[in-house]
Amino acid sequence: MNEKKWTPFINFKEYSSHNPQKPDVLELQVADTELFSTLYSTNLRVYEKGFDGDWTEKILPVKNHDSKNFSLLQQWEKAFHKGLITVNTHIRIKFWMEKSKTNANRMIRRFKLIILD
């Protein structure tokens, strides 16, 4: 039987940092600069560096359609249009949860996109 292998999504819910001084960190390499959309999110193809140093192809959701948080998408588009991101560019994404500035009862994920090369 022919099995189709699906590229896994990076799931931010698997990460738990609530401290901007000790954020969760993803080490990534850009596989394709073209954003694409699914039913739930706007995405990007990347390679994720694992704890063992191996690179695995993943799909990075840069904006969920049901979320008002455009931060990561805006940072990506700004860097891309400045010419800082191309295929094979290494990037680091730091992220953590903190209280929303407009609604203290709601937590929001904060992102910082860092271009490494």
Average pLDDT over residues 87-104: 95
CB–CB of 77/91 below 8 Å? no
pLDDT at site 5? 75
pTM for this model (two decimals) = 0.91
- Return the minimum-mean-pLDDT range out of 3-7, 37-41, 106-110: 3-7
pLDDT at site 91? 98
pLDDT bin (cut points 50, 70, 90) of residue 117 is: confident
pLDDT at site 6? 86
Model confidence pLDDT, tens digit, residues 27-77 = 999 999 999 999 999 999 999 999 999 999 999 999 999 999 999 999 999
pLDDT bin (cut points 50, 70, 90) of residue 4 is: low
CB–CB of 113/70 below 8 Å? no
Q: Are strands 55-64 and 24-30 parallel, antiparallel or unpaired?
A: unpaired
Cα diameter, the chain: 53
Closest C-alpha among 62, 73, 13 to residue 38 = 62
